[in-house]
Structure 1
Amino acid sequence: MPTKLEKKITIRTVRVEDAEAIIQIHRAVISEHDYFIALPTEFKKTTEDHQEWISNILNHERETMLVAEYENNVVGWIVFLSHERMRMHHIGSFAIMLQKEWRNKGIGKLMIHELLSWAEKHPLIEKVTLGTFSTNTRAIELYKKLGFIEEGRKVKEFKFGNGEYVDDVLMYKWVK
């Protein structure tokens, strides 16, 4: 049963004019240093870059991007990107970002449900994948609740400045 807040959230297909909100969320998540590969100093994307990225996604038959909106403000986004190799046209992976104050409220779950619904209806997509830091235990729990299965790990894939290593947990879900 959706919460009151979940009822007020709209999940919709991205628009090019959402680029500024998306880049702000992207920068904020990167600046947290917790769950993103890039460092803030490595993220040099502009609003124009994001506009072009969104336009390319909207024009690609096997890709999509959705935003979570609350009172006309974008508070999160999820993107599904496919592979160009013919033998991998049936799969794609997603990334998801939410403003910090909007996490743990069921919005990520709503976005993933919408993405999975899109993938299930898509005639070519059969497998949805993701990768996440092994330290992102809350996300891993959510993915498992949504039917994702861990298919492997890239051990010590990421190295933090303090000499700490983190595994990349690879997960998937069949949608056909």
Structure 2
Amino acid sequence: MTEQIKIRAATEEDAENILSIQSEVLAEEDYLITTLEEFQQTIGEQKKWVEAKLANERELILIAQYQEKIVGWLVFQSPNRKRLAHTGSFGMMILKKYRGLGIGKCLLEQLLKWAGCNPYIEKISLGVFSTNESAIALYKKMGFVEEGRKINEIKLNDKQYIDDVLMYKMV
């Protein structure tokens, strides 16, 4: 099945697909901090965001295609601070009906390969909802380690809080 998955670097032309996937995944409201009503990105703003990532040698956007259809993406972002320039964090979005096919694993493999060749990046970090067990299992399988938690960091409603699990991997 993974032979049907293609991972490639994003181009400016991918901005509309990235925006569409982001809107669809945000609508699920399961594992993301941003809610759909808070997300107001326009196509023009998304294109500028993609262009900025492509222009920064310490940042990356990957596109996942399954059977030639764009079904997900990953962004790696690195801070503009000298003492943090060796680090970065990533976020990943995959359309719901394409999850469980190995796409996330393929995106992470490509990120780790890129980071291993990047002379600036030494540490990759992420935050994940403590309830997102499948994502946590994937990250652990890929060598990420929990380095801490922000307890009750995410408030889902008046009575429900969950932890933000902080994970990392040195490359």
TM-score (norm 1): 0.95
Pairs within 5 Å for 1:17-166:
17-166=13-162
Over aligned residues, Cα RMSD in angstroms? 0.8
- TM-aligned CA deviation for residue 41 of structure 1: 0.6
State how many pairs are aligned. 171
Partner letter of residue 31 of structure 1?
A
What's the offset of the Cα at 1:70?
2.4
Deviation at 1:48, TM superposition (A): 1.2
Q: Deviations over 1:41-76 (max 9, x none)?
A: 100001111111110000001000000012432100
Q: CA deviation at 1:20?
A: 1.2
Q: Specify the code of the residue in structure 1 equivalent to 2:61.
A: M
Counterparts of 1:162 and 1:26 in 2: how far apart (Å)?
A: 26
Residue 162 of structure 1 and its aligned partner are, at CA, apart by 4.5
Q: Give the letter aligned to residue 75 of structure 2.
A: V
For 2:35 and 2:72, how far apart are their aligned partners in 1?
A: 20
Aligned residue type for 2:161: Y
Q: Which amino acid aligns with 1:68?
A: A
Deviations 1:109-154 (A, max 9, x none): 0000000000000001000000000000110011001000000000
Q: Which runs of 5+ in 2 are unaligned?
A: none
Q: Tell me which of 156, 167, 170 is aligned to 1:171.
A: 167
Runs of 4+ in 1 over 4 A off after TM superposition: none
Secondary structure in 1 matching 2:19: helix
Unpaired runs of at least 5, structure 1: none
